[in-house]
Amino acid sequence: MEKLIITAAICGAEVTKEHNPAIPYTLEEIAKEAESAAKAGAAIIHLHVREDDGTPTQSKERFAAAFDAIKAKCPDVIIQPSTGGAVGMSNEERLQPIYLHPEMATLDCGTCNFGGDDIFVNTENTIIEFGKKMIELGIKPEVEVFDKGMIDMAIRLCKKGYIKAPMHFDFVMGVNGGIGASLRDVVFMAGSIPAGSTYTVAGVGRAQFEMAVASIIMGGHVRVGFEDNIYLSKGVLAKSNGELVEKTVRLAGEFGRKIATPAEAREILGLPAK
């Protein structure tokens, strides 16, 4: 089987130090968490940034500073900024990090209830706008999908030329308002993408490691990290993203999946070598 690409979503926009004191806010904390994840085996850092007080921001300057801080500690890792940002941000705000010319960025392919009154809005025009910009700037999108219909949307927009094939998907499984996180759900998602696509699986909350194992066995890739889950095991808070990645590496080893380096991840994803 192909080597396993592990993505660490180290920070997110919603989770706070009240949930887990290890959630990184400052540039130093973000760089330290990225380093712990990369040292443990993550090839990709999915990145959100915060102000020092924890407020989510899509500021280009803050992302630039975070890129520098991460690259100083782990020069090889693929940095994949979020264009999702936080619920309620404008499209213009969300797009800021792509003007730093990252190798990859997320492209969220549909609107989703995020619990309570929160709605993560991605209209068709938004997806087209973001997709076109990423093509212009030569950025490989990680097509983030919270439900099967979002895969179908991505396929339609790919056919129209707004997303380049082969697509790389991130199945976010178990969000309040999205698809669940059962084996049947993840098999359905993996069976719904075009031949030649790649995918990673991000299980939310307690589903993180169940979904990781499913993807390890199925030949997909895995995303773990504080953005999606703060626990190492039931009731035990993870002390770092590195711990979550280490556990994923252990699980992969049990099933004979070797771990991709950042260079190998670039090859698998069709990114230019560095």
Where along the sequence are the contacts to Zn ion (CB under 5 A)? Answer: 82
Please state, as a whole number, how many other Cβ atoms lie within 10 Å of the Cβ of residue 190. Answer: 19
CA-to-CA dists, residue 240 to 176, 201, 243, angstroms = 25, 20, 5
User: Residue 149 or 219: which CB sits closer to ligand KMH?
Assistant: 149
Q: Is 229 in the site for ligand KMH (CB under 6 A)?
A: no
Pick from 272, 273, 254, 274: which is nearest to 4 by CA? 254
Contact 168, 220 (CB under 8 A): no
| Count of residues interacting with ligand KMH (CB under 6 A) | 11
At its nearest, how many Å lie between Zn ion and the CB of residue 82?
Answer: 4
Q: Is 127 in the site for ligand KMH (CB under 6 A)?
A: no
Token pair for 35: 């380093």
- CA–CA separation, 241 vs 10, rounded Å? 6
- CA–CA separation, 45 vs 31, rounded Å? 10
Q: Do the bridges between strand 231-233 and strand 236-237 make them parallel or antiparallel, or are there none, so unpaired?
A: antiparallel
Site string for ligand KMH, 141-160 (x = CB under 6 A): ---x----------------
At its nearest, how many Å lie between ligand KMH and the CB of residue 146?
Answer: 9
Stretch that binds ligand KMH, among 78-86, 202-210, 246-254, 257-265 (CB under 6 A): 78-86
User: Residue 226 or 257: which CB sits closer to ligand KMH?
Assistant: 226
Token pair for 27: 């540039």
Q: Is 171 in the site for ligand KMH (CB under 6 A)?
A: no
Pick from 7, 40, 75: which is nearest to 227 by CA? 7
User: Residue 82 or 122: which CB sits closer to Zn ion?
Assistant: 82
Helix (H) or strand (E) holding 168: strand 168-173
At residue 57, the 3 state secondary structure works out as: strand
Q: Is 108 in the site for ligand KMH (CB under 6 A)?
A: yes
108 binds, among ligand KMH, Zn ion, none (CB under 5 to 8 A by kind): ligand KMH
At its nearest, how many Å lie between ligand KMH and the CB of residue 247?
Answer: 22
Q: Is 106 in the site for ligand KMH (CB under 6 A)?
A: yes
At its nearest, how many Å lie between ligand KMH and the CB of residue 256?
Answer: 31
Alpha helix ranges (H) inside 41-113: 60-73, 91-95
Interface ranges with ligand KMH (CB under 6 A):
13-14, 82-84, 86-87, 106, 108, 120, 144
